[in-house]
Amino acid sequence: MRLLHAKTKEFQEFFDTQIPPYAILSHTWGEQEATFEDIRRPGFDRKLGLRKRKLGWSKIHGCCHQALADGLDWVWIDTCNIDKSSSAELSEAINSMFNWYSDAEKCYALLSDVCDRDELYSKRPIRWFTRGWTLQELLAPREVIFYSRDWHQIATKLADADLIGSITGINPGTLVRQGRLLAPCTAVKMSWAAQRSTSRSEDLAYCLMGLFDVNMPTLYGEGGVKAFRRLQEEIIKKTDDQSVFVWGKQKMIRELGLITHIYSCKAFASTPGDFRECGAIKVPHGDVTFFSRSPLGKPRELIETNTHHFVTNRGISIKLPICQMDPFTYLVLFNCFPNRDLESLLAVLYRKDSQYNIYTRLDEYPVLQIPEDQIRVVEEGGNQKATSEETEKVLWSSTRIYTFVKTTVYLRI
């Protein structure tokens, strides 16, 4: 890790346990940023720096001044501490950045378009809260201190968690916890980035790697959709959390109209924006299980679904409950709840390619909420007929029971 000395403005390399306490800067890039090449240039005046030539020098000066005031001799600033002429170093930095922010003694968040604290309460978008990279810079560090453009402290993450939560849509309880954020599910974490943007489309995927504790090569030029698909592939290698598949708008199953086959899409989302309405989704903790109830509301059975999914040349191989709606269309049931009430499960419509057992998501339909008392799950080869009690319940209430059969399917990606 390359750090900048706050007094001398000299760089020094450190490795693992040798890394000293340091402060780290979180900001949004602007014009005339001071770079690694600028500071390393022969004849660079470290006292005056680039003050007269580059506006970005004020960030470096402000960060160093604040670090020294806090008793820290070293700082890390992304504009100048990375040699971006080296693709290998840039890739290493991107894959390490979450850890670097997490290990910092203090993180200074500079809001370059904010003059005072009152502006945090306004409805005007503040640029720092709209950028992709600043999401992990908010969540990873233990201590985040917010400064105005003139380096006046206006807030902290811990003391102002409710205010920061109202701006970002992140639960204040999550903000005060530091680390990898194991509690929120994949879909919820994605929803935090749904309305953020990056200058390069691929960075919208790369900036989320640390949030999910995954690593992958950075391939600028591959495009944002491919990069985001690779990110999701890496995520499902580490978790059985199925909420990654339930992106999109939600509706109750009773609102489902006539099923037609017009547009299809992949099981994976194309951008974090597809998770915009997924901020309330819950998944069971521990062993992933379905708890299926009978139409009479009595507990029926606990069906384990903690099956590993993996990527094949046919798609994602996964064992899931499916319910046939017509000769070609199936409801695929995922072990996710739409909200904390835990009274419904989420299902997605897929069309089956009968020859290869590949299921393709129907793009024009929302994710469907199915009340738990309308769900019946059976093992493949089990009895799919409703009992007499179930039949009587349906006749009296006109409530449809959806019978799902657990089977291995391939979801097209």
Predicted local confidence at residue 384, as pLDDT: 56
DSSP states of 301-346 as a string?
EEEE-----EEETTEEEEEEEEEE-SSSEEEEEES-BSSTT--EEE
Encoded tokens for 168 = 């970002």
162 or 391, which is more confident? 162
Predicted local confidence at residue 50, as pLDDT: 47
Strongest mean pLDDT among 165-179, 227-241, 275-289: 227-241
223-249 confidence digits (pLDDT tens): 999 999 999 999 999 999 999 999 999
The closest of 373, 371, 389, 382 to 405, measured between CA atoms, is 382
pLDDT band for position 161 (50/70/90)?
A: very high
When pLDDT is averaged across residues 139-145 and rounded to a whole number, the result is 96
Predicted local confidence at residue 394, as pLDDT: 43
Predicted local confidence at residue 287, as pLDDT: 45
When pLDDT is averaged across residues 331-337 and rounded to a whole number, the result is 94
Predicted local confidence at residue 56, as pLDDT: 81
**Going by DSSP bridges, is the β-strand pair 315-324/310-312 parallel, antiparallel, or unpaired?**
antiparallel
352-366 confidence digits (pLDDT tens): 987 778 999 998 889
19-64 confidence digits (pLDDT tens): 999 999 999 998 888 888 888 876 555 555 544 456 788 899 999 9
When pLDDT is averaged across residues 77-87 and rounded to a whole number, the result is 93
Nearest 5°: the CA angle 84, 85, 87 is: 75
Predicted local confidence at residue 21, as pLDDT: 98
As a dihedral over the C-alpha atoms of residue 92, residue 93, residue 98, residue 104, rounded to 10 degrees, the angle is: 130
32 or 113, which is more confident? 113
* 62 vs 64: CA distance, rounded Å: 6
Which position has the token pair 């997605």? 348
pLDDT surpasses 50 at 278: yes
Which position has the token pair 């469907």? 368
pLDDT surpasses 90 at 177: no
304-322 confidence digits (pLDDT tens): 455 678 898 889 999 999 9
pLDDT band for position 380 (50/70/90)?
A: confident
Contact 358, 316 (CB under 8 A): no
Contact 156, 145 (CB under 8 A): yes
Mean pLDDT of the residues in the chain? 86
Encoded tokens for 212 = 């999910």
381 or 216, which is more confident? 216
